[in-house]
Every structure is written in C-alpha cells, then in structure tokens.
Copies of this chain bind each other. A is one copy, B any other.
C-alpha cells in the first residue's frame, strides 16, 4: 500500500472483482459457478461470467427445446438440452437417477437450484455474457436466452475483464 493520487494516506479500496468462464452445462459445474457468483456479489464483489461452449446452454430459456436453423445445430440441441431446469450431473448420472438423488439432497438441505441461483445472480447485478462465437455455432439468438443478461461478446473482451479481476476461474 502506498500514498495514492488522492492525497489520502490510503486509496479507497475499489470493489474486488471475480471473472469466470462457465464452459460446462453439467449440473455439478454450473452449481459452483452460480454459488461462487452470487456469494461474491453478496460480499460486494463485481462479477462477470462468460458463458461459452457447452456453458452457453445455461442461459437458454427452459421452454426452448430445439434451437438453431440447420440440421447439425438442431441435432446438437436435441442431445444437449439447454436451460437451468435440464442440467445433468457430469458424473454418476446413472440415466438420471444420480441427478435426481443429488437434486433431492440439495432440496432437503435448502441449497438453491440453478434456476433460482441464476435469477438471484441477475437480480444482484452479476453480469452474464453469452459467447458470440458459440451462439453462431449453435445458431442461438438473443430471444433464446433468459432476460436480464448482457450483450454477447468474444474471448478478447473476456480476457480484458479477467486481466483486471482479482480472481479468474475456468469452470
């Protein structure tokens, strides 16, 4: 710490910043992204989350089923259903039984669901950015996403944010 440009004996501490890449749409990865994001926001941190690759599907509205315009995009949408209500565990899924079991445990212990956490995140000012390149690949459009998110951006913009952040995580 040193005497700052303000002439004060200390610099007013700017908000700490957290920048995350949400790369996965697995339930067990999206949960930490949203728990870390909302917890950080509740502690007064500024939070930016970049949703890319599989992770882009997290921002999809739960009532959108088939997305994209060409056949490959539609096929991908069918095997990789989007929306926070449809996330599955990346491990011990057992045809859905494991996911059902873990969701049951979470409910018993009052851990908020990904759908609730996404809503909290938006309400708390967490900035959620869809990746433009992945949108192009999947044929996803602005209207396929939940309300309250930021405009799409690319990897270069995310890197600028991450370089200014105090914590950067790839999840």
Contact = CB atoms under 8 A, between A and B. Distances in A.
Contacts of A137: 102, 105-106, 109, 111
Interface in A75-96: 75-76, 79-80, 90-92, 94
Contact of A159 (B28, B40, B92): B40
6 contacts: A2-B3, A23-B32, A32-B170, A79-B94, A111-B133, A163-B166
A72 B97 CA distance: 11
Contacts of A80: 91-92
Given A5-B1, A75-B101, A102-B76, A159 B167 contact: yes
A16 interface: yes
Nearest to A24: B91
Contacts of A31: 53
Interface string A89-119: 0111010001001101110110100000000
Interface string A28-41: 11011001100110
Copies of this chain, tallied across the complex: 3
Interface residue tally of chain A, by bracket? 35 or more
Interface string A142-171: 000000000000111001101101111111
Contact of A163 (B35, B45, B163): B45
Given A105-B137, A169-B170, 11 more contacts: A23-B29, A28-B53, A31-B53, A42-B156, A70-B108, A72-B108, A75-B101, A76-B101, A90-B91, A167-B168, A170-B171
